[in-house]
Chain A
Amino acid sequence: MVPGKTTLPMMPLGRGARRKNSQLPRRSRRQPAETGRRFLDLRSGEVDIKHPKVRHETVLPVRAPNLTMQYPQVQINHHYARLWTGHDFYPQFPSFATCSKELKECSGHVFVDSVPEFCLPETELIDLSTVDVILISNYHCMMALPYITEHTGFTGTVYATEPTVQIGRLLMEELVNFIERVPKAQSASLWKNKDIQRLLPSPLKDAVEVSTWRRCYTMQEVNSALSKIQLVGYSQKIELFGAVQVTPLSSGYALGSSNWIIQSHYEKVSYVSGSSLLTTHPQPMDQTSLKNSDVLVLTGLTQIPTANPDGMVGEFCSNLALTVRNGGNVLVPCYPSGVIYDLLECLYQYIDSAGLSSIPFYFISPVANSSLEFSQIFAEWLCHNKQSKVYLPEPPFPHAELIQTNKLKHYPSIHGDFSNDFRQPCVVFTGHPSLRFGDVVHFMELWGKSSLNTVIFTEPDFSYLEALAPYQPLAMKCIYCPIDTRLNFIQVSKLLKEVQPLHVVCPEQYTQPPPAQSHRMDLMIDCQPPPMSYRRAEVLALPFKRRYEKIEIMPEPPPRPAQPTSGKKRKRVSDDVPDCQVLKPLLSGSIPVEQFVQTLEKHGFSDIKVEDTAKGHIVLLQEAETLIQIEEDSTHIICDNDEMLRVRLRDLVLKFLQKF
């Protein structure tokens, strides 16, 4: 089992954008469950693309977790198209604080006592009001959206798939609901003073940009933010200002999760975030469309590269069965959508054989019902197996049957019906996986004292040790089975071999083994040419050169411009200075002397004399006092100032040459 996340590669982009100091807060055990005040930190990763005027190189100013890409454009209309992708979020907590009233101590650790706060995405480098488009990769990557659409002057469009929006809404709704249950106390702010923070013990003093942390948004803001989203389907080509085309592709990680292709007519950038090659419920990852990329931005790899999701699921089931058989309860802190569908499916197949059919499963979340219902209506976004079930017609997920047979029951909260139905031993799925708010806190308090009970961590976002810290000492068993289906390094190299991008761009952390496992050379990206890595606030120039731009030509040749040198128009030309902007074609080929002389004779030239030279020939027209030097790659006509003669000779020479 992996002890804590600090051993993992740091990922400044994507959902896995975890910084070195992103440790979990510790919560005072003395705090009543629903009144604990904690910090959350909300992160984002984004791609920003814009079109400056003509530029030869694409510049990719990259800062972790923000990533800005400048897309050069030779278009006449200097439209701006800036894109943000992968709005990423995950809570992060400082684990320590000082100002006596704001700080609480528990088992030797100090915690900040405050209303939960969230860290916003980086906004200093970009004026969000100039961003035209935000691309959302998956529902975990949009939790910061209300902060951006409601409070930054952003007026652009947000693109996301329908499942992403619907499930994203559920995740936000749950979060808002959980936070609103916490009495509205003052935010702790004294500890954020730099001089004080500096003096705090390690996890707290390393917390980043604490001054920008905000309180949670409201449901009203969520609705307003979501109303700005334009729904898109996989492989839909979305034209942005006629300059860039963006296309979402299935990424195989979650319902409606997408990778994005951002392309102009001759350049292609792929943004790969939160992808999975495993067969779980979502539609498989679309790899073919990623081919021929000039640049592939790779992020959102697995948080736990050493854990095999299949093995973890097995471990999950056996630990669950063991506990329940011994008369204990199982608590599974989880998000209301995602891996829970797969877990329920596994349990559906497992419970009868394990003799668990009489054990009640409870799913407690303000959005439990919606989540279960929504999962059944997105057949088109599911893997083939599930899709074909709908044709029968049967619900794609077996949890419908679990509900029908009363094996799985769902409740909006622990209050109300649940308290009447509650039977032990049982299995409870509930949030929030950080153990800092939500109904999970109640069950931790209720079951923590008995060693019969087990808490099983499946969500990879939080270190379970950090999560448990404020509840220590605990008698209950703790099992860590992180299930992270996103790409691991072996899969990444397979993927890169398959799609062969010209250049790979990724966070620096992916280019070296994790600090705690520096011998594991396999835990890093290995590709040729080596990936270009970026760090926070770093500007990266991408080595791709623009060579072509698209225009349309008319099917008919243009009307020939009047030949100013043709005899009749000579007068006009001699009066006006000619416009030398008109380009004459280049010539190629060589002149065969004998044929040339014959042609000259045919056109009335007589008394022609040919002399051989070192490099070619000289043709002398003695009568006209004209000399023509012919070499392999050049012809030189030397004559008196007789324009008629010169033009005649020119035309005869041109007959032998190709024009370009």
Chain B
Amino acid sequence: MGAGQDVGRSCILVSIAGKNVMLDCGMHMGFNDDRRFPDFSYITQNGRLTDFLDCVIISHFHLDHCGALPYFSEMVGYDGPIYMTHPTQAICPILLEDYRKIAVDKKGEANFFTSQMIKDCMKKVVAVHLHQTVQVDDELEIKAYYAGHVLGAAMFQIKVGSESVVYTGDYNMTPDRHLGAAWVDKCRPSLLISESTYATTIRDSKRCRERDFLKKVHETVERGGKVLIPVFALGRAQELCILLETFWERMNLKVPIYFSTGLTEKANHYYKLFITWTNQKIRKTFVQRNMFEFKHIKAFDRAFADNPGPMVVFATPGMLHAGQSLQIFRKWAGNEKNMVIMPGYCVQGTVGHKILSGQRKLEMEGRQVLEVKMQVEYMSFSAHADAKGIMQLVGQAEPDSVLLVHGEAKKMEFLRQKIEQEFRVSCYMPANGETVTLPTSPSIPVGISLGLLKREMAQGLLPEAKKLRLLHGTLIMKDSSFRLVSSEQALKELGLAEHQLRFTCRVHLQDTRKEQEMALRVYSHLKSTLQGHCVQHLPDGSVTVESILIQAAAHSEDPGTKVLLVSWTYQDEELGSFLTALLKKGLPQTPS
């Protein structure tokens, strides 16, 4: 429904073992029309979404993953549970409100979701802890893993019985200055749905990129230029702030650094309170020094943009598609001394994307043309996994198959081939609206009664791990529990009587000896032939082999013929019919 061979509007519907889960509910920054939100009529044409969906999972607070949520839950109508992590739950409504303000107050859009809708929508949210197994219902369980990317970003495992899907959301496999690396255990999902923003990129070392960034910023301010860094209030902003803060301190620079929007202070506060979600180093030292309390970075005022002299400004939003960053960009774009550094990915259709693709004349609202003379730099500080990272995650999770989303078709195709080659698993990359069906071979867990298992073991065959073996029992399916029990127990539980089927065969032998003697001969013959079987001669003159009874009798008409009556039950059929055949051949002559 979204993010198929595309970045933006992440929204994926997964049907797994009869359960329907919607992953993310994002908006597309490149569109301002209907295409901005996913088309939820894909989910169900008739009937309420609540009846069709078992749950909705939001991976992190970026708007391309949660921007359509109030529209989906309040305007289309969904009342089921929405799962996300605590930091996401905390930050998501703020970004949604921000988004709403820009759309409604600035652009004057009608029929947009309201503040109240955001609040009502957030009431449906259930917060999850990392690694907590959340039982959505009796069969469906979900579990969150750390994803890096931004504060509170998580990957989710969705599991029903033996089938499972892991959805990565956006993730980062290398720890950065404030977040740790994504991690998933070897959970062997049936399907791994991975983002692939940087499917073809293998990024150079982080240190180089950072040095490069600092050098560019430093050079620009040295020659009196202004640096604009469009960022989203939460995420890269904090990373780059930490970077600049430490650099300013080391170099003892005095050029002012500003951070736009009132969100920032609040944002940093969130980072302080959710410090358990940041990386090891920050967590360890936060008591002595909280990395999110900046000395050099001050709040920005709109009037500062016209101040003379060098400055560095972090402004939102990050793709230059609206708001303060775009305003500042317009003011500064004409001066070649200035520089704009795009630290993240820009969606098609945004100003950010246009200037990055080399466009220097931009048509703005009202047919104005803006000439861009300032330097435009792109620096990948996006906390997405690169090709190497994606391969690493596939290796970690060991999925049966992989599905790529959140990337560009061409790049995906390259990665798809690489994954299929290296891991020998099938890899899919559906476009929006396309359905991929995956066959699974379900395992059927059943409870085996201990009695039956022990009988099996008593046969001397020790079970071997991972080796199939055949065993006879009765499967009782009751409600949703499957139990394998011995036939006797099954009959007993079902209140059925056993029906005994018995055979008695007459074996005629030419022999004039007495019955007793005859029985004795049968006994010694069988005893020597059937080694390893329990052959007994009973006091009443009959012979038993296991549970098979053999009696010798005189023939009613012919005294020279003796009749052996061999009697056995259906369960001993093999041995019984073997014995009759054996006895039919006659008895060996006694050595005399």
B591 contact set on A, CB distance < 8 A: none
Q: Nearest CB to that of A289 among chain B residues?
A: B135
- In the complex, the answer to whether A587 meets B287 with C-beta atoms within 8 Å is no
What 1/0 flags go to A634-655 for Cβ under 8 Å of B? Answer: 1111111101001000100110
Whether B500 lies near A546 (C-beta < 8 A) is no
Docked pose: A609 CA to B304 CA in angstroms: 115
**B287 and A637 contact, CB distance less than 8 A:** no
Give residues 541-560 of A contacting B (CB, 8 Å). Answer: 546-555, 558
- Inter-subunit contact B577/A393 (CB<8 Å): no
B444 and A641 within 8 A (CB): no
Q: Which residues of B contact A636 (CB under 8 A)?
A: 501-504
Cβ-closest chain B residue relative to A554: B468
Instruction: Mark out the residues of chain B between 173 and 192 whose CB falls within 8 Å of any chain A CB in the assembled complex.
Output: none
Find chain B residues with CB under 8 A from A403 CB: none
Check B134–A235 contact: CB distance below 8 A. Answer: yes
Interface readout for A551-572 with B: 1 if CB under 8 Å, 0 if not?
A: 1111100100100110000100
Q: Is A237 an interface residue (CB 8 A)?
A: yes
CB distance from B561 to the nearest CB of A (A): 13
Distance A553 CA – B443 CA, assembled complex (angstroms): 7
- Please give, as numbers and ranges, the residues of chain A lying within 8 Å of B286 by CB-CB distance: 373, 377
Residues of A within 8 A of B470 (CB): 558, 561
Tell me the B residues contacting A by CB distance below 8 Å: 86, 89-90, 93, 127, 129-134, 143, 266, 269-270, 272-276, 286-287, 441-450, 453-454, 457, 459, 462-465, 468, 470, 472, 474-475, 483-484, 487-488, 490-491, 496-508, 529-530, 532-533, 546, 566, 570-575, 577-578, 580-582, 584
Query: With A and B bound together, what is the CA distance between A337 and B581 in angstroms?
Result: 85
A577–B578 touching, CB < 8 Å:
yes
* Residue from B131, B572, B574 within 8 A of A564 (CB atoms): B574
**Is there contact, CB below 8 Å, between A377 and B502?**
no
Interface on A for B, CB 8 Å cutoff?
A: 54, 56, 74, 76-77, 162, 232-237, 247, 265-266, 369-370, 373-374, 376-380, 387, 390-391, 393, 395-396, 546-555, 558, 561, 564-565, 570, 573-574, 577-591, 632-641, 643, 646, 650, 653-654, 657-658, 660
Closest Cβ neighbor of A639 among chain B residues: B505
Among A235, A247, A588, contact of B129 (Cβ-Cβ < 8 Å): A235
The smallest beta-carbon distance between B463 and chain A, in angstroms, is 5
**Chain B, interface SS category:** mixed
Which residue among B89, B131, B459, B572 has the maximum number of chain A CB atoms within 10 Å of its CB?
B131
Separation of A46 and B420 alpha carbons in the complex (Å): 49
Q: Which 4 A-B pairs have the closest CB atoms?
A: A548-B447, A578-B574, A660-B487, A586-B487
Contact (A641, B584) CB under 8 Å given A555-B441, A635-B499? yes
When C-beta atoms are compared, the residue in chain B nearest to A553 turns out to be B444
Pick the residue among B272, B443, B580 that contacts A641 (CB under 8 A).
Answer: B580
Q: In the complex the two chains form, is A641's CB within 8 Å of B275's CB?
A: no
Alpha-carbon distance between A587 and B487 when the two chains are bound, in angstroms: 9
CB < 8 Å neighbour of B449 from A77, A548, A552, A637? A548
Shortest CB–CB separation between residue A308 and chain B, in angstroms? Answer: 32
Enumerate chain B residues within 8 angstroms of A657, measured Cβ to Cβ.
Answer: 499, 501
Contact A590 B578 (CB under 8 A): no
Contact across chains for B505 and A587 when beta carbons are under 8 A apart: no
Q: In the bound complex, do residue A588 and residue B574 qualify as a contact, i.e. CB atoms below 8 Å apart?
A: no
Pair B488/A586 contact, Cβ less than 8 Å: yes
A574: which B residues are within 8 A, CB to CB? 578, 581-582
Known contacts A236-B133, A377-B275, A548-B483; A584 and B573 CB within 8 A of each other:
yes
A contact residues around B532 at 8 Å (CB): 577
Docked Cα-Cα span, A580 to B548, in Å, equals 12
B474–A578 contact, CB under 8 A? Answer: no
| Alpha-carbon separation in the docked complex, A393 to B276 (Å) | 15
Residues of B close to A587: CB separation below 8 A: 498-501, 570
A634 near B134 (CB under 8 angstroms)?
no
Indicate if the CB atoms of A588 and B498 lie closer than 8 Å: yes
Contact across chains for A387 and B86 when beta carbons are under 8 A apart = yes
With a cutoff of 8 Å between Cβ atoms, the chain A residues found around residue B503 in the complex are: 636-639, 646, 650
Query: Chain A contacts of B89 at CB under 8 A?
Result: 391
Q: How far is the CB of A341 from chain B (nearest CB, A)?
A: 16
Q: Report chain B residues within 8 Å CB of A585.
A: 472, 487
Q: How far is the CA of A643 from the CA of B583 in the complex (A)?
A: 13
Given A369-B287, A578-B574, A393 contacting B505 (CB threshold 8 A):
no
Q: Report Cα–Cα, A265/B500, bound state, in Å.
A: 36
- Picked from A233, A584, A654, the residue with its CB within 8 Å of the CB of B131 is A233
Shortest distance between the CB of A174 and any CB in chain B (Å): 14
Residue of B nearest to A376 (CB): B273
Contact A643 B574, CB 8 Å, known A633-B499, A657-B501 = no
Q: Are B505 and A640 in contact (CB under 8 A)?
A: yes
Q: Are B462 and A76 in contact (CB under 8 A)?
A: yes
Q: How far is the CB of A431 from chain B (nearest CB, A)?
A: 18
Q: Are the C-beta atoms of A633 and B575 separated by less than 8 Å?
A: no
Q: Is the CB of B577 within 8 A of A573?
A: yes
- Structural contact, B499 and A589, CB atoms closer than 8 A: yes
B498 touches A635 (CB 8 A): no
Knowing A373-B287, A577-B530, say if A235 contacts B133 (CB, 8 Å).
yes
* In contact, A637 and B502 (Cβ under 8 angstroms): yes
Contact among B134, B444, B447 for A555, CB-based, below 8 A: B444
Whether the pair A650, B501 counts as a contact (CB closer than 8 A) is yes
A residues in contact with B457, CB < 8 Å: 54
Asked whether, in the complex, the Cβ of B533 is within 8 Å of the Cβ of A380, the reply is no
Instruction: Tell whether, in the assembled complex, residue A590 and residue B275 are in contact, meaning their CB atoms are under 8 Å apart.
Output: no
Q: For residue A580, which residues in chain B have a CB less than 8 angstroms away from its CB?
A: 533, 546, 572, 574-575
Q: Are A74 and B453 in contact (CB under 8 A)?
A: yes
A377 touches B575 (CB 8 A): no
Are A370 and B287 interface neighbours, CB within 8 A?
yes
- What A residues does B570 contact at CB under 8 A? 584, 587, 650
Q: From A233, A374, A573, give the contact of B132 (CB < 8 A).
A: A233
Say how far B316's CB is from chain A's closest CB, in angstroms: 18
Q: Are A393 and B90 in contact (CB under 8 A)?
A: yes
Residue numbers in A under 8 Å from B566 (CB-CB): 641
A232 and B131 in contact (CB under 8 A), knowing A577-B578, A640-B505?
yes
Q: By the criterion CB–CB under 8 Å, are B500 and A634 in contact?
A: yes
CB distance from A403 to the nearest CB of B (A): 13
For this complex, 29 residue pairs linking A to B, each with C-beta atoms less than 8 Å apart, are A56-B450, A74-B454, A76-B465, A162-B276, A232-B131, A235-B134, A370-B287, A377-B274, A379-B86, A380-B86, A391-B93, A547-B450, A549-B448, A550-B445, A550-B446, A550-B448, A552-B443, A574-B582, A577-B532, A583-B571, A586-B488, A586-B491, A588-B497, A634-B499, A635-B499, A639-B506, A646-B503, A646-B505, A646-B577
A377 touches B450 (CB 8 A): no
CA distance A265 to B276 in the complex (A): 33
A128 to B450, CA, bound (A): 31
CB-defined contacts of A234 to chain B, threshold 8 Å: 129, 132
Q: Separation in Å of the A419 CB from the closest CB of chain B?
A: 23
Closest B residue, CB atoms, query A373: B287
Q: How far is the CB of B262 from chain A (nearest CB, A)?
A: 13
Chain A residues lying within 8 Å of B507, measured Cβ to Cβ, are 641
**A241 vs chain B, min Cβ distance (A):** 12
The answer to whether B501 touches A634, judged by C-beta atoms less than 8 angstroms apart, is: yes
Q: Is the CB of A635 within 8 A of B500?
A: yes
